[in-house]
């Protein structure tokens, strides 16, 4: 990894991963995007042309440039496309995202009408893949099948984790569903960042851990968010176990 100053070849716009993924949906050809999975919540870094962020004022985002003070960002290795550590969601070879394009995409993501259909999460398909590793009738898959399962499970968690984080924001900080979701999300992040030993047994255990996180987050996604009245009537929770 390299520490590089902004404002020379490019500037950077930093935002929550969930918001960034929504913005990417509205960009036909997005430029390079890096991920920091280790912040209090995962963050995305959009690379834009240098000198274009002087009047940046989009809510829920941070402009990283060197206009007022020198700012540096950590660049992952060019080949790294997965954790552990920072990695590229979209390769540096994608170039830079035009600033007007990013602003328009963020405004669309931030001001979606209430009638906009929510993102559909196919928990049935996710559970079916997880069951191949942790179900009652699960059998050890071949190495090629295992690799494909792990890739799909990781993709599921990339969708389920921000979905759970977004739902958590509507809950009181001491609400039981929020505390349970925080524990589940934290465990899923650790499993995403884990790197198994290069042995088949270690890879199986890693895949099974991912499958358990997928199963837990599917249950969370399928559970209706409690109303304020339900939260107030719920007993306080002192310890959360998973």
Q: What's residue 103's pLDDT?
A: 94
Q: What's residue 68's pLDDT?
A: 64
Which one-letter DSSP state was computed for residue 41?
S
Paired tokens of 40: 């209090």
- Who contacts 13 (Cβ-Cβ below 8 Å, separation ≥6)? 45, 46, 48, 53, 56, 58, 61, 62, 63, 64, 102
- Smallest CA-to-CA distance from 34 within 70, 80, 72 is with 80
Map out the domains of the chain as residue ranges. 2-110, 123-233
Please give the distance of CA 118 from its chain centroid, rounded to a whole number. Answer: 17
Q: What's residue 145's pLDDT?
A: 87
| 10-residue stretch averages of pLDDT, the chain, 242 residues long | 83 91 91 84 91 88 80 85 85 93 92 53 89 87 87 89 77 71 87 84 92 92 60 41 36
Is residue 92 a contact partner of residue 78, using CB atoms and an 8 Å limit? yes
| Other beta carbons within 10 Å of 28 | 6
């Amino acid at each position: 990894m390299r520490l590089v100053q902004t404002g020379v070849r490019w500037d950077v716009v930093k935002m929550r991963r969930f918001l960034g993924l929504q913005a990417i949906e509205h960009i036909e050809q997005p430029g390079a995007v890096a991920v920091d999975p280790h912040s209090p919540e995962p963050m995305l870094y959009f690379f834009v042309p240098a000198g274009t962020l002087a009047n940046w004022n989009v809510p829920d985002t941070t402009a990283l440039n060197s206009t007022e003070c020198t700012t540096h960002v950590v660049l992952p290795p060019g080949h790294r496309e997965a954790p552990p550590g920072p990695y590229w969601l979209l390769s540096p070879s994608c170039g830079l995202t035009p600033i007007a394009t990013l602003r328009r995409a963020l405004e669309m993501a931030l001001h979606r009408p209430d009638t906009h259909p929510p993102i559909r999460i196919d928990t049935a398909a996710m559970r079916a893949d997880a069951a191949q590793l942790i179900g009652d009738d699960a059998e050890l898959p071949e190495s090629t099948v295992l690799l494909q399962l792990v890739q799909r499970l990781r993709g599921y968690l990339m969708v389920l984790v921000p979905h759970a984080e977004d739902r958590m924001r509507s809950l009181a900080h001491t609400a039981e569903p929020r505390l349970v979701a925080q524990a589940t999300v934290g465990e899923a992040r650790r499993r995403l960042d884990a790197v198994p030993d290069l042995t088949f047994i270690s890879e199986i255990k890693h895949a099974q851990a991912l499958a358990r996180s997928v199963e837990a987050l599917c249950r969370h996604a399928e559970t209706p968010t409690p109303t304020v009245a339900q939260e107030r009537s719920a007993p306080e929770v002192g310890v959360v176990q998973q």
